Structure 1
Amino acid sequence: MEAFHICPVTNYYKRILLPVSYGLVFVLGLTLNGALLWCVCARTRRWSSTVIYMVNLAVADLLYVLALPPLVISNAMGGLWPFGDVICKGVRFLFFVNLHCSMMFLTCVSLHRFIGVCYPIAAVRIRTKKLALFASGSVWVLTTAEILPTLVFAHTGVINNMTVCFEMTNPKQFKVYFPYGLFLAIVGFLVPFLVVVTCYCSMMKVLYCRVAGSISNARTSHVRNKSLYTLLMCILVWSHRATASEEQTAE
């Protein structure tokens, strides 16, 4: 088997930084998303369209973090995969499905807020529970279909006498995988990213113009600034999540 040179920085990244990062994400994600789901299910009697999107986002995030423990163990062992081929495929599939679902639900939330802020009259007719349920179901079905090829590409292999779990494919299948990887980059990242940025930029413009056109005082300025900061944070969070997805796909 062909020998591979291991860069010290890459080795440090995989053995220490990735396990620590994934471990923190697992603990925080499991705790916070679990608490959110418990609060919503226990205390919310009437579910609005906003609650439906947020619950689906929390479920996707919760399932995403459940795929992290095997990856933490594998990276801490220097890339060794001791769990077998079936779990390799299952973990990769679960990881990418829920990561992409999270990004798509964030996109749905962005569109939901965009309609409410920029088209408040039409929002009464458009932002319904029925549409939210349909959109949520479509996200799960379409994203699952989009990531199904992972079950074919992801598999275990041997490098330097060590069993590893390939993220999406091995180097020999790169030409076969490339069109699919390009499809994921465009449909799973570029299009949602453009939608989110467009929505939040439009909302910031509308909020700024509305407050600027009204009587300016300390309270309205505070509300405007708070709203703008919130929108900027949403863009940064989505961008970070999408970048993480692209980094995992590229490994």
Structure 2
Amino acid sequence: FLHIFNFYNVLLGLGYSVVFLLGFLANAAALWAFIGKRKSWTDTHIYMLNLAIADSLLVIFLPFRIYDSFFCLPKTRLCTFLIYLHFANMYASIGTTTAISVQRYLAVRFPVKARLWKRKKEAAFVVCLVLWVVLLIMCVVFREENYPKNLWACFDRCKDRPLSFKFVLLLVVFGFFVPLLVVVFCSSRIICILQKKGKDLKSTSGIVTANMIVFIICYTPIHVAFLVNHFNVVPENWKCTYIPEHVFLVVSEWIAATNCCFDSISYYLLLKRFYS
């Protein structure tokens, strides 16, 4: 059992180390590129900056996750903070990606009105601000969900103490499913519109398609895992940590974290095509 435990955590630590390295380089390069080459800010830059902040905060605090994989952090309120920081940044990324999808759709579907609207920057700032405020309120309201008493290890919950159904419902429905519907609708419509306009825009529609697929692949598993782990509660005397549901949750968390490696590059390329 100890051998399996060590092998499992080494793989987890190595996996997050790769995400940290690639995510750090990708976000740093994207920030440098889109900030350095623009003389005036637009609503696009505000959304991109918010996305970069969300992804960068996730990347910056990944060393705690890596350290815990190799040496085990003690169960303290720091763990609670790190867990909520990790997921707040993930949902900030989901929310910002959704806002960018809507913005792109409006720019393609109503190009003249989109160019003439003078409050785009203010609207983008308000959307980003409201997103962070909502996430902060949720973290405060549901703070006890991930207190040390409910944790088996710093980043692992006790198997007999699932997240409350109300919290899971908010995360799955409003944190993922609704944004997923918006992203799929907007991306699908953009692809159809661009393909009708001509061959020159097919490469752009390809980037939109790739972004939509990455969104689905990165964030679907973890929300399925939330539901599975909530409804498959193990007995209190269950000692084995590596039940299938738990392994699926841990792996899906890693998959979700990899999104920070793709966001900045893909959206920088896409926005460059749309707005250059």
Asked if 1:135 corresponds to 2:122, the answer is no
Alpha carbons of structure 1 residues 54 and 188: separation in structure 2 relative to 1, 3 Å: same
Report the AA paired with residue 130 of structure 1: E
Aligned residue in 1 for 2:147: 155
1:71 and 1:244 map into 2 onto residues whose CA distance is 20
1:117 and 1:7 map into 2 onto residues whose CA distance is 55
The count of aligned residue pairs is: 227
Instruction: Please state how far the C-alpha of 1:43 moved relative to its aligned partner.
Output: 5.0
Alpha carbons of structure 1 residues 43 and 207: separation in structure 2 relative to 1, 3 Å: closer
Aligned residue in 2 for 1:60: 54
Asked if 1:165 corresponds to 2:185, the answer is no
1:203 pairs with 190, 205, 217, which one? 190
Instruction: Please state how far the C-alpha of 1:106 moved relative to its aligned partner.
Output: 0.7
Q: Deviations over 1:47-78 (max 9, x none)?
A: 1110110011001100011221121122234x
2:169 and 2:23 map into 1 onto residues whose CA distance is 29
Aligned residue in 1 for 2:219: 242
Instruction: Please state how far the C-alpha of 1:150 moved relative to its aligned partner.
Output: 5.0
Q: Check the 8 A contact 2:194/2:202 in 1, yes or no.
A: no
Q: Which has the higher contact order (CA 8 A, sep 6+)?
A: 2
Report the AA paired with residue 216 of structure 2: S
Q: Secondary structure at the match of 2:205?
A: helix
Asked if 1:91 corresponds to 2:117, the answer is no
1:122 and 1:25 map into 2 onto residues whose CA distance is 40
Q: Check the 8 A contact 1:157/1:166 in 2, yes or no.
A: no
Q: Check the 8 A contact 1:103/1:241 in 2, yes or no.
A: no
Aligned residue in 1 for 2:245: none
Q: Deviations over 1:182-232 (max 9, x none)?
A: 221111110101100000001111112222xxxxxxxxx2x2320221111
Alpha carbons of structure 1 residues 225 and 42: separation in structure 2 relative to 1, 3 Å: closer
* TM-score normalised over the length of structure 1: 0.79
What aligned pairs does 1:103-118 form with structure 2 within 5 A after superposition? 103-118=94-109
Report the AA paired with residue 224 of structure 1: L
2:13 and 2:27 map into 1 onto residues whose CA distance is 20
- Extract structure 1 runs of 4+ deviating beyond 6 A: none
1:177 pairs with 151, 164, 177, which one? 164
Q: Secondary structure at the match of 1:173?
A: coil
1:224 pairs with 188, 201, 209, which one? 201
Greater Rg by CA: 1
Gap regions ≥5 residues in structure 2: 230-248, 250-276
Gap regions ≥5 residues in structure 1: 212-220
1:123 pairs with 114, 124, 144, which one? 114
Q: Deviations over 1:14-37 (max 9, x none)?
A: 423322221111112222223333
Alpha carbons of structure 1 residues 228 and 185: separation in structure 2 relative to 1, 3 Å: same
Report the AA paired with residue 91 of structure 1: L
Alpha carbons of structure 1 residues 76 and 247: separation in structure 2 relative to 1, 3 Å: farther
